[in-house]
Structure 1
């Protein structure tokens, strides 16, 4: 568990739930600011104002009233709900606490203000690094889960004043621990969360794992209260028997209806078309089977969409489940091939390093004099300067000085002159074309005319032709 308090905000874009964002509050450096935000999330500090003009100190049902282009989203006006007001749990405003934390990345939670020491309930969440806000706004928290929801809110279209054209509302907020207790107390929410949790475990570990968990719970219940366990087991058996009877009756009625429909459809189609062969009949039945499969897949898609709307972490858990399945499949494949995981990792890293080194060796265009090219040229030059092994051994045996012969010196000098000639011929500049017309007076004017021709040559072609023909008006 984190040492910092955690709160959550549930966003809604238009009529569709966008998801949940969980924040971590820095109560060590900015305790007063963190407590202000936490109290406004839970709504435990009551109301502000007098008589009929009281407002609850709570972020519930407030709007996100500003979305700056790819920079930040701003909300938290609990008074006017449009960015012109605000209040804190201390008073209307409170002073700036600490500017030590910087707006260095996306997902930082910071206080909005109208100058020094004018903090209230308004806040903003960064969508990218904002160093120009350092020293002006107090950073007191960060997003630890749901950054994709913040980015989704940041993509909402806005008007000329950065106000969202589609309403973005905070439909729920609170402290993370309190939200868990609320889910436990609400039986309807608890059933939904239990069902989603069971589906998640089934996707990750399979049905056998769920059966083992159910057996363990039954054993614990039997050990704690055997009489209650017997009564509950009898009730469960009665309910199961009732469900089986209902399912059997429904299956019978469905089978009867399907048989009647099949018989009627078959009579209508097969009797009306006596020329249909067995191949046509099989094709008809296959198409009918595909239609039934598509209905089942559509029902599954509807269920997944409902779960996605109820669970703010559905997309994240789905990606995590796919990643774990992929890792498990790779692990089983390694076990089947009897390969150690550490050795496989080292082999993959070695191959990756070799591929990167091979990519570095590739050169193009102006990258002519890199290390590999120079080394290859050196090896090529060494082949022309082959030594005489016989004379070399003779000099070694007679303890003579290694004096090169006149032939070797001539070969070396001719090779050096060839290298110098090749260097003179080599040039990175584009060669001059003598056939082109001279339209310049110096090198600078030539380059300028070339740029003019590149950008305006197509447009000036007709004017040039008219001037040459003498038909220009």
Structure 2
């Protein structure tokens, strides 16, 4: 047997090496594009200094409190959202359709049924009848799983995401909420109305039960090309009691005798 230290000729070695280099370069380009897309998606929920009127915007009108005849104890405000129709088009289309619709399904008359202060609230609950809202829990977002993009994070207060695909409910975050990432598909963010979100947050407790009714009273779309600031409404608060000193005296008197305030 003839053993030789001489290397055998490999006429196709250069071509094989070139193919490997081309494949590696293609993978690097694909990965760079993939990471760029992921980074762009992750930044979609970030707060922006400049709002683009060419993007899709919509609004919800909210009432907080009790409507007691001629003396309503209501706080009223408006939330304005940017909707990510380029990421979750079917979801946004259905959400947008339900904002101001007078026909079922609609968000008008539905409640914000859960509020965890400094965390999130769950809006769009149509399972109980509140001021004419629908009952029932039909599959409103029927194709969410097909288009859900889990790479958009709950990066800031005011991020909109679906509670689940089996109801009409959606989350509005009240802070950065990383624990929701990967579990709830993000489809929009708040651009105006953070004072209203703060007022909503103040009505919750540790169990998520609202202290007073928080109702969606209306909604609609902002025409494309129109800056959403033109749809802003100042938050209305109930008038202060005409004789607040009486309450102070009563509580002071109670505290003096019992050591408890309000008991």
TM-score normalized by the length of structure 1: 0.33
Check 1:105–1:119 CA distance in 2 against 1; reply closer, same or farther (3 A cut).
farther
Pairwise mapping of residues 174-323 of structure 1 onto structure 2 (< 5 A)?
Answer: 174-177=220-223, 312-313=233-234
Aligned residues, how many?
Answer: 168
Question: Given the superposition, is the C-alpha separation of residues 101 and 66 from structure 1 closer, same or farther in structure 2, using an over 3 Å criterion?
Answer: same
Bigger relative CO (Cα 8 Å, ≥ 6 apart): 2
Structure 1: gaps spanning 5 or more residues: 47-55, 181-196, 198-310, 316-473
Partners of 2:121 and 2:233 lie apart in 1 by 20
**5+ residue gaps, structure 2:** 1-51, 68-73, 237-263
Judged with a 3 Å threshold, the aligned counterparts in structure 2 of structure 1 residues 87 and 23 are, in CA distance, closer, same or farther, namely farther
Q: Which digits, 9 at most, give the CA deviation of each residue in 1:86-136, with x for residues without a partner?
A: 335565x742611120011111011102xxxx3531101001111111111
Is the partner of 2:81 in helix, strand or coil? strand
Q: Deviations over 1:170-190 (max 9, x none)?
A: 111121239x9xxxxxxxxxx
Matches within 5 A, 1:33-182: 33-43=91-101, 46=103, 56-80=104-128, 86-89=137-140, 91=142, 94-95=144-145, 97-113=148-164, 118-158=165-205, 161-177=207-223
**Does structure 1 conserve the Cα–Cα contact (< 8 Å) formed by 2:161 and 2:186?**
yes
- 4+ runs deviating over 4 angstroms: 88-91
The residue that corresponds to 1:12 in the other structure is 63
C-alpha distance 119-3 of structure 1, shift in aligned 2 (>3 A): farther
8 Å Cα contact 2:107-2:126 kept in structure 1:
yes
Within 2, Cα distance between the matches of 1:5 and 1:42? Answer: 15
Q: Aligned partners of 1:154, 1:31: CA distance in 2, in Å? A: 29
CA RMSD of aligned residues (A): 2.9
Maintained 8 Å contact 1:79/1:87? no
> Is the CA contact (8 Å cut-off) linking 2:160 and 2:188 kept in structure 1?
yes
Distance in 2 of aligned mates of 1:68 and 1:314: 21
Deviations 1:353-401 (A, max 9, x none): xxxxxxxxxxxxxxxxxxxxxxxxxxxxxxxxxxxxxxxxxxxxxxxxx
CA distance in 2, matches of 1:157, 1:40: 25
How far is the alpha carbon of 1:161 from its aligned partner?
3.2
Answer yes or no: is the 8 Å Cα contact 2:77–2:196 preserved in 1. yes
Contact persistence 2:118–2:175 (CA under 8 A): yes
Residue in 2 aligned with 1:29? 87
Task: Kindly state the Cα deviation for residue 69 of structure 1 after the two structures are TM-superposed.
Answer: 2.7
How far 1:163 sits from its partner (Å)? 1.2
More strand per residue:
2
Say which SS state the counterpart of residue 95 (structure 1) adopts: helix
Change (3 A) 1:149 1:2: same
